[in-house]
Amino acid sequence: MFSFKSLDSDLAKSLSCPGAPTFIEVQLEDLTESPFTDGESWNPTACVLPAKYQQFADKVRNFEVYEDDVWIITFPKCGTTWTQEMVWLVDHDLDYSTAKRVNLNRRSVYLEIGCIAHNLPVDSLANAANLPRPRHIKSHLPLALLPKQLWTVKPKLVYVSRNPKDVAVSYLHHYQMIMGYRGSKENFLEGLLTDKIVYCPQISHALDFWRLHNEQNVLFLTYEQMKRDLRTVLERVCGFFGKQYTNEQLDELVYHLSFDQMKKNPATNNVDMVAGAMQMNGRAGEKFKFMRKGEIGDHKTELSAETIANFDKFIERELIGSDFRFDQ
């Protein structure tokens, strides 16, 4: 079903880190079951993943999907955690009591983490499979690598995109502090601009889901929409889940989902997960918070004018032929 190619360029070697020492490109070879019904062809690009993924690719592709599943899919650092908490609460009648008691990572399971994280012996596929229904499952995998039953069973699927320049900054901090990367910032950014970082290619990740954004079971959101007007986004999310809440309930949810509240909330701020990863990947005791800044436009403070221009060119080139545009 898949072919695998080791990445051994100098750039790939420079991107090696304790959390992901070596990388492969994973190419879907079996295109018989296309997710698209628009009659257009589909030529998925190979996805960069830690080499560990090779032993799990088929298992993920054959993962059993249920109609009442809820899938939250994003490229890394696009607001996944934020969306997971929002969607879980909307779908569970605003059950704050459970949401505060049970960590979000247990309510909404990261499907492939055990298949990619070096030295993390968790069976995340089993954890996701065995969740109580309706199962809430998070994934960063591109469409071509996700379970093929998603396109026949058609569970609810929420996709979130974020401006690639802000993703670059957020992902750089994640790569350094959570995955233990000690190489240069320049090499990491070059890796993103040449689609050689884990989960790349970045732009086609969003474009594949944009092609599905009118499907009834797909809700396509952006980090920037959530940031600018979460209340309006919540109304769309409630409509998607067939839920109705009062204005007061929605105001309370906006508050619960604010950056400051989620940062204070041990069930959502990923403090334990980050401490464990930093310990494992040689960053124990250093200063880093998963809930880092939570802003639009942070790239302007962290990227040079030249890098921003390079990202702009990269994004423009990759978007040729699509009507999709990233929010700024």
Among 49, 115, 177, 257, binds ligand PPS (CB under 6 A): 257
Among 170, 202, 204, 281, binds ligand PPS (CB under 6 A): 170
262 binds ligand PPS (CB under 6 A): yes
Among 259, 273, 276, 302, binds ligand PPS (CB under 6 A): 259
Burial grade of 70 (CB within 10 A; 0-12, 13-18, 19 or more): buried
- For 98, what's the count of Cα atoms within 13 Å in the CB-facing half-sphere? 13
Q: How far apart are CA 268 and CA 284, in angstroms?
A: 21
Under DSSP, the state recorded for 179 is: S
Which sign, positive or negative, has the C-alpha torsion 150, 164, 82, 125?
A: positive
141 binds ligand PPS (CB under 6 A): no
User: In this chain, which stretch among 2-10, 241-249, 289-297, 314-322 interacts with ligand PPS, using CB under 6 A?
Assistant: 289-297
Q: How far apart are CA 252 and CA 265, in angstroms?
A: 15
- Whether 199 and 140 have beta carbons less than 8 Å apart is answered as yes
Pairing of strands 218-222, 108-110: unpaired
Among 177, 233, 291, 303, binds ligand PPS (CB under 6 A): 291
Q: How many CB atoms lie within 10 A of CB 130?
A: 10
Q: Which is nearer to ligand PPS, 63 or 199 (CB)?
A: 199
Q: Does the active-site annotation cover 140?
A: yes
- Show the binding pattern over residues 48-87: x = contacts ligand PPS (CB under 6 A), - = does not: --------------------------x-xxxxxxx-----
Min dist. Cβ of residue 41 to ligand PPS (A)? 30
Q: Which positions lie near ligand PPS, rule CB under 6 A?
A: 74, 76-82, 166, 170, 173-174, 227, 257-259, 262, 291-294, 298
User: Which residues does the annotation mark as catalytic?
Assistant: 140
